[in-house]
Chains A and B, each alone.
Chain A
Amino acid sequence: MMPREKPYIKSNRQEIPAFAGMTSDAQPVTGNRQPVTVRVAVVGGGPAGMAAVGALAAMHIGVDWYEKEDRVGGKLNNYHQLFPDRVPASEAFGQLVKGTYHNHIDRHLGKAITSVGVNAGRISLNGKDHKIGEADAVILATGFDFFDARHKEEFGYGIYKHVITSADLETVFADGDKLLNVNGSAPASVAFVHCVGSRDEQVGVSYCSRLCCITGIKQAIQIRREYRETRVYNFYIDMRAFGRGYEELYREAQENHGVRFIRGRVSEASEDEQGRIRVKAEDTLMSRPIKLTVDWLVLLIGMSPSCSAVLSGKGEREKSFTNAENPLTGSAVKGQPGVFLAGCCAGPMSIPESVASGRSAAVQAAEYLNKKNGNSE
């Protein structure tokens, strides 16, 4: 993410110490220090990674847990509330991180794994120009990258101050900042653009990122809750509210919060002389072109794959998510025995799906090690 200037955002941020949960004195450490014979590496400290390490440790498997940042939690650290129940992200983090305080888990923070190599049953984990560690099996839980909204040039992200992404807005909420208009008062109107970097062949992204629709609904409601007078528009292709409680939230946004949903893609955004954003779009239900001037334009950015680079070792991101060998039934990577996928590196997932995926990968890694060591039961 590019550092963003937030000239009209009233900052209320207080420095929170990096989730102190990572120091051993913050939480009781569980698990006996009994020797473990096999070790699994988990790459990534987000929800899928946290779920995987917790599950492995509970099965008495030693874990080397690698995270490129200096704290775990991944993108969860920058989220405010989670849909559909508006549970604070910090609460979900607390529940997940609890399972990671275990004697079988060694944490390696600030370690970026850029490639893995499988050789004679052992897997090496490498940094940019040196080997970082070894393991009997690896779970890649490297998550996703946000789509770089600058590629959709017509929206002017990075050029116009009042065009931000859903990730930026989530940080605003998480920090307790205020989203103000150019005069320093509550915004008169905010528009969301769905499918920025999703289902868009123009930028080489054919897939649906799945979670942006519900993010747009949740953030639209949040704006209406904070600023009752602000008009909120959502420009969408079609609404994909698939998960538990999502459709209900979509209805709630319309019935209880007056969020206006307009079916049609935005063709271009530009800045007027006051710094507000002019939006051109088509209302495809009314079959009419429309123009709208809003105080803020929020781009609901999609999810881009992040672990193909680790697998290929070439350091180049690919445009498709990494497929497991049998994606319907398992998470093992084809041709790389002992390497498993967890969470959003295998495709766009919600947090509960990522957690389930992480635990599932842990079980599959354990089964693999059992078979490999002749312990099949």
Chain B
Amino acid sequence: MIHYWRDYQKEIAEDEFFYVRSCIRQNFFPGAENLFIDILRNKLGKKVFEDADHTTCTGIGYHSDIVPIETTMTVIARQFALMKERGYRNLVISCVTSFGLYSEILDLWKHDPALKTKIEGYLSEATGRSFDEPANMVHASDILYKFRYEIAEQAVNRLVNNETGLPLRVVDHIGCHYAKTFPERGIGGSEFPQVLTGLIKAWGGETVDYPERRHCCGFGFRQYILQSSRGYSISHSRTKLESMMPYEPDLIVANCPGCAMFLDRWQYTLEETDGSVYGPGRTKIPVVTHEELAGLVLGYDPWEIGLQTHQVPVEGLLDKIGIRYDPEKKYADRQGKLIGDTVAVTAIV
């Protein structure tokens, strides 16, 4: 344990969570958020509420300079109002972008109370609602961190190579907006964050400390959203992948939906572009989110939790851990009917 990370301890509520989803996560990793709720409710016995009326936080629009900050604040104030109306005080945020934005807004209000009063007025005028700030506000990966040992006790699988008995080598990637803006809001701070390291170690794996560990995944909002800048996005992802390559990682885990998506999708693009493959033995490196990692440890069926929606095939990882799966059901719907087929992709070199 690094001796000084006590400075970055964080209070995480024990129970009774109000959950807000992520635009990106529910689109690109559609099983992940239901899985998180299921783990909390059925494995850890916690009370979780999600309100069907909650909306985007506007984060992508805000970071693209499309949505003005007062609008963003009013939308977020509305999420707080929904939480208040449902009688909850502990907010759990799925998305790292949202978590950073909620944190930023609370910080702005703290330093400029008149701004908060103005937003209270806007919200009241537009919706007739009022809100309280959350008593406790954390990211979903913080919750898994808090209960990592309880999850370890119920583990069906460990992050250990089934054949060699060695710990899996895991790259942990933390979304920039988790702690780089407000280090004190992240477990372990921004330079040596512990939130995913804690999960990996508790579940039997080891983390890889590679030189570009703290580098951005490449998403960077405008880098990706503006098509003309998209080259910056992929080049940053390549910087990271090249840096981690000598360590031969077995998988990447990311707590930010954008990071998980770009580290996953861009591996395919890079292979298509110049034939580069960054995993050991000319395989690509599987990328999972923190919820999916917990799901695998707890023995959920990989196809039930949506791992077939990943660009990099996860079968190699499942084989390494020794997780059984039915290859035939990879693209089956919930009634067992096949809704697609594995398409053989030949790399264009």
In the complex, which residues of chain A have a beta carbon less than 8 angstroms from the beta carbon of B212? 270
In the complex, which residues of chain B have a beta carbon less than 8 angstroms from the beta carbon of A159? 2, 192
**Which residues of chain A from 255 to 309 have a CB within 8 Å of any chain B CB?**
268, 270-273, 278
* Nearest CB on A from B141, distance (A): 20
**Which residues of chain B from 178 to 196 have a CB within 8 Å of any chain A CB?**
189-192
In the complex, which residues of chain B have a beta carbon less than 8 angstroms from the beta carbon of A272? 211
Q: Does A158 contact B (CB under 8 A)?
A: yes
Partner of B209, one of A150, A153, A268, A271: A271
* Nearest CB on B from A66, distance (A): 31
Q: Does B247 contact A (CB under 8 A)?
A: yes
Is the CB–CB distance between A268 and B214 below 8 Å?
yes
Q: Does B213 contact A (CB under 8 A)?
A: yes
Residue on B nearest A293 in the bound complex, by CB: B211
Interface 1/0 per residue, B149-185 and A, CB below 8 Å: 0000000000000000000000000000000000000
Given the contacts A153-B191, A159-B192, A271 and B211 also touching, CB distance less than 8 Å: yes
Cα(A245)–Cα(B277), bound, Å: 56
Q: Does B3 contact A (CB under 8 A)?
A: yes
Cα(A242)–Cα(B95), bound, Å: 51
Is the CB–CB distance between A154 and B211 below 8 Å?
no
Q: Which residues of B contact A (CB under 8 A)?
A: 2-4, 189-192, 209-214, 246-247
In the complex, which residues of chain A have a beta carbon less than 8 angstroms from the beta carbon of B191? 153-154, 156, 268
Q: Which residues of A contact B (CB under 8 A)?
A: 150, 153-154, 156, 158-159, 268, 270-273, 278
In the complex, which residues of chain B have a beta carbon less than 8 angstroms from the beta carbon of A156? 191
Is the CB–CB distance between B4 and A150 below 8 Å?
yes
Is the CB–CB distance between A158 and B214 below 8 Å?
no
Is the CB–CB distance between B2 and A270 below 8 Å?
no
In the complex, which residues of chain B have a beta carbon less than 8 angstroms from the beta carbon of A150? 4
Cα(A156)–Cα(B3), bound, Å: 13
Is the CB–CB distance between A158 and B3 below 8 Å?
yes
Cα(A156)–Cα(B211), bound, Å: 12
Q: List 12 A-B contacts (CB under 8 A).
A: A153-B190, A153-B192, A154-B191, A158-B3, A159-B2, A268-B191, A270-B210, A270-B213, A270-B214, A271-B209, A273-B247, A278-B211
Between A156, A270, A272, the greatest number of chain B beta carbons within 10 A of the residue's beta carbon is seen for A270
| Pairs A-B, 6 closest by C-beta atoms | A153-B191, A270-B211, A278-B211, A273-B246, A272-B211, A154-B191
Is the CB–CB distance between A153 and B189 below 8 Å?
yes
In the complex, which residues of chain A have a beta carbon less than 8 angstroms from the beta carbon of B210? 270, 273
User: With A159-B192, A270-B210, A273-B247 given, can you name 8 additional A-B contacts, CB distance below 8 Å?
Assistant: A153-B189, A154-B191, A268-B214, A270-B209, A270-B212, A270-B213, A270-B214, A271-B211
* Nearest CB on A from B216, distance (A): 12
Cα(A76)–Cα(B223), bound, Å: 53
Cα(A144)–Cα(B209), bound, Å: 35
Cα(A156)–Cα(B214), bound, Å: 12
Cα(A150)–Cα(B209), bound, Å: 18
In the complex, which residues of chain A have a beta carbon less than 8 angstroms from the beta carbon of B190? 153
In the complex, which residues of chain B have a beta carbon less than 8 angstroms from the beta carbon of A270? 209-214
In the complex, which residues of chain B have a beta carbon less than 8 angstroms from the beta carbon of A158? 2-4
In the complex, which residues of chain B have a beta carbon less than 8 angstroms from the beta carbon of A271? 209, 211
Cα(A150)–Cα(B191), bound, Å: 11
* Nearest CB on A from B324, distance (A): 34
In the complex, which residues of chain A have a beta carbon less than 8 angstroms from the beta carbon of B189? 153
* Nearest CB on A from B176, distance (A): 13
Cα(A159)–Cα(B3), bound, Å: 10
Cα(A278)–Cα(B239), bound, Å: 14
Cα(A156)–Cα(B4), bound, Å: 12
* Nearest CB on A from B46, distance (A): 33
Cα(A271)–Cα(B210), bound, Å: 7
Cα(A150)–Cα(B2), bound, Å: 11
In the complex, which residues of chain A have a beta carbon less than 8 angstroms from the beta carbon of B211? 270-272, 278
